[in-house]
């Protein structure tokens, strides 16, 4: 596929045909993803491919609480877990989560409730001893460390697409990191970054909704004029 076209059309996929993803294919995908950029080339990523059904169900159970909180906060018009937010509004919003969970339990369930059934489940970790987190000491929420892991995840998703596969990066289980670490024997110095679901897509979304460049790019100052061309 054309690179630009691929970058513009690789949407999140959560519905898969049931055929498994052979380890050989997973290996090929990871073999490409490992060329992702990362701070100091320390390659802090670690990956666990989770095949055991009990472990998969364990991961699903750790995913669900975050998912229902996410839905509750979204329904209240909040950006879930934004580092800068109205914490009181958040506390009020998540009170609706148990009702959302109960309603979901009555229905057929979606991606979250069936997470254990996706063809391939990859837990992506970060070795904190290898993460060049230059904003570590700033008096604000840190985000640079993740930038050494998530490009790897994105490369993984792009490499999967080249194999006729698709998927989604998820982070809900990070709300329950201690549980994930206990489940998968992950030591203290290793953090949980994401769970990636992969498989053969029922449908590959290609018309993605994103803001135009002018909405997020300005000249010289954050409140400067939007970067515009061709006017």
Q: How far is the CB of 90 from ligand FMN (least distance, A)?
A: 17
Of the candidate spans 6-14, 99-107, 130-138, 216-224, the one that interacts with ligand FMN by CB under 6 A turns out to be: 6-14
Q: How far is the CB of 220 from ligand FMN (least distance, A)?
A: 29
Cα–Cα distance, 199 to 21 (Å, whole number): 6
Q: How far is the CB of 118 from ligand FMN (least distance, A)?
A: 11
Q: How far is the CB of 225 from ligand FMN (least distance, A)?
A: 28
Determine which helix (DSSP H) or strand (DSSP E) holds 71, and give its type and residue range: helix 53-75
> Which of 215, 172, 157 is closest to 21 using CA atoms?
157
Question: Of 79-118, which residues contact ligand FMN (CB under 6 A)?
Answer: 111
Q: Does 172 bind ligand FMN (CB under 6 A)?
A: yes
Q: Cβ(127)–Cβ(46) under 8 Å? A: yes
Q: Which of 208, 218, 225, 228 binds ligand FMN (CB under 6 A)?
A: 208
Strands 166-170 and 190-201, sheet pairing: antiparallel
Of the candidate spans 10-18, 98-106, 115-123, 127-135, the one that interacts with ligand FMN by CB under 6 A turns out to be: 10-18
Number of residues in contact with ligand FMN, rule: CB under 6 A?
Answer: 12
Closer CB to ligand FMN, residue 8 or residue 42?
8
- Long-range contacts, stretch 205-211, CB < 8 angstroms, 24+ apart: 205/11, 205/12, 205/13, 206/9, 206/11, 207/9, 207/11, 208/8, 208/9, 208/11
């Amino acid at each position: 596929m054309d690179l630009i076209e691929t970058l513009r059309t690789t949407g999140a996929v959560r519905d898969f045909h049931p055929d498994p993803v052979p380890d050989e294919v997973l290996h090929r995908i990871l073999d490409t993803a490992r060329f992702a950029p990362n701070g100091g080339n320390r390659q802090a990523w670690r990956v666990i491919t989770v095949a055991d059904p009990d472990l998969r169900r364990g991961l699903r159970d750790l995913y669900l609480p975050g998912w229902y909180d996410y839905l509750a906060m979204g329904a209240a018009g909040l950006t879930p877990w934004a580092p800068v937010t109205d914490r009181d509004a958040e506390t009020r919003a998540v009170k609706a989560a148990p009702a959302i969970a109960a309603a979901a339990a009555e229905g057929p369930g979606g991606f979250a409730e069936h997470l254990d059934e996706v063809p391939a489940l990859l837990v992506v970790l970060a070795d904190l001893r290898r993460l060049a987190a230059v904003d570590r000491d700033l008096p604000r929420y840190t985000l640079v460390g993740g930038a050494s892991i998530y490009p790897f995840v994105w490369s993984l998703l792009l490499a999967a697409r080249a194999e006729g596969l698709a998927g989604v990066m998820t982070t809900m289980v990070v709300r329950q990191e201690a549980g994930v670490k206990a489940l998968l024997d992950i030591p203290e110095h290793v953090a949980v970054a994401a769970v990636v679901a992969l498989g053969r897509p029922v449908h590959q979304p290609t018309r993605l909704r994103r803001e135009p460049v002018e909405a997020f790019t300005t000249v010289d100052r954050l409140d400067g004029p939007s970067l515009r061309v061709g006017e």
